[in-house]
Chain A
Amino acid sequence: MVRVLIESTGEQREFRALKSVTQLLNRLGLKSTEVLVIRGRELLTPDRMIGHEGEIRIRHVVSRG
């Protein structure tokens, strides 16, 4: 299972498998320059592969307020 945490809302999503970061962004309806895609201490570019397991954090970049 790939576990995805959306930091701004605290929402958790699970995916059985994800080909790439681009696929994840499409599933979440996000643009690549709208969020940081974080795995561990690393940022993932849209072309990176994800696969069947792991934990990913999504951090929105727009400053609010």
Chain B
Amino acid sequence: MKCRRCSELAQVRLPSHHTGFCAPCFETYFLRQVERGIHEHKQFSKEDRVLLAVSGGKDSLGLLLALTRLGYDITALHIDLGIPVSSQGARATVEAYCAAHSIKLHVLETAEKGLPIPEVKKRVNRPICSVCGKIKRHWFNRFAYENGYDVLATGHNLDDEVARLFANTLRWDQAYLAGQGPVSPAEGKFVRKVKPLCRLTEYETAVWCFLNGIEHVLAACPYSAGASFTGHKKLLADLEERSPGMKMQFYEHFLQRGKPAFQAVRAEAPPLNECARCGYPSSMEVCGVCRIKDQLEA
């Protein structure tokens, strides 16, 4: 097949767009989709200081390259979870990448904050991925807030968003449906959160990383026995194959029609408290992360 833009031999076929691209034209397409996601949802501008959460996987490193190329003011933040082997590998990957591209990088160790993940795993009886996610979200937000960043960006892509939307819809979880989307506005000690890859699929970010020679972490976390939503992603991939473009439609129609309805319902929800220990937003007197710390210290 031939590239739609320049008629050279295509390297990438995108059924959802009924098209194919050669390598240079795919890169143009990819950067345009990132830019379009940012503009359409008013995520941030060139004046904003953006903190990007970087895990070492393809989505976050791919996004880091794209935002740098597009000329945004980006600082990377990596959270070292202290998991033997896998955390060292992820951290080394991120450090090497940022050094090679002269990108500002901060590394925050959860162990230093009293939360080494291997210890947490021993003491907490809930699935470790949800606990770990909670800890990461807390520290990403807290670091951004304390250091005066305007926005916190993450590498979540269209597939992540659609899988989450599908899970939330299956439960008709009104609070989550009201809050889901490519932008969460700043509120109290929550900084604005954005997902600039919301228009791009996992396949597309993998292609982007390959074409740019990005060395990213391939191994899964040793604690995750199948990451979140894997089953849903399979189902959605089957649907997408039968009707290309369905994922994007499901997501965009939700944002246009579904989300406003859920937000109206949620407007009556009580405001968040501040955690009695750390002062960050919480629905309880002491936030989830401080409660995990208590459990470790007990």
Contacts and interface: CB of A to CB of B under 8 A. Distances in A.
Contacts of B221: 65
A34 B233 CA distance: 11
A64 B224 contact: yes
Nearest to B159: A62
Contacts of A7: 218
Contacts of B211: 43
Nearest to A8: B218
Nearest to B233: A62
B181 interface: no
Interface in A1-49: 7-8, 31-34, 36, 38, 42-47
A4 B152 CA distance: 41
A64 B230 contact: yes
Interface stretch (B12-20, B113-121, B143-151): B12-20
Contact of A32 (B13, B57, B129, B226): B13
A32 B10 CA distance: 14
Q: Which DSSP category, helix, strand, loop or mixed, fits chain A's interface?
A: loop
Given A38-B210, A59-B206, A45 B218 contact: no
Contacts of A44: 11
A62 B229 CA distance: 11
Contacts, number: 63
A61 B13 contact: no
Nearest to A42: B11
A36 B220 contact: no
A31 B12 CA distance: 14
A20 to B, nearest CB: 11
A65 B237 contact: no
B76 interface: no
Nearest to B219: A65
Contacts of B59: 63
B207 interface: yes
Given A32-B13, A33-B240, A43-B12, A62 B202 contact: yes
Given A33-B15, A43-B210, A65 B203 contact: no
A43 B23 CA distance: 9
Given A31-B241, A45-B12, A64-B220, 19 more contacts: A32-B13, A33-B15, A33-B237, A33-B241, A36-B203, A36-B207, A36-B210, A42-B11, A43-B11, A43-B211, A45-B20, A47-B1, A62-B202, A62-B230, A63-B202, A65-B129, A65-B219, A65-B220, A65-B223
Q: Please name the 8 residue pairs, one residue from A and one from B, whose CB atoms are nearest each other, closest first.
A: A65-B220, A65-B221, A61-B206, A65-B224, A64-B220, A43-B11, A45-B13, A33-B203
12 contacts: A31-B241, A33-B201, A33-B237, A34-B203, A36-B207, A43-B23, A43-B211, A45-B1, A59-B210, A62-B202, A63-B58, A65-B223
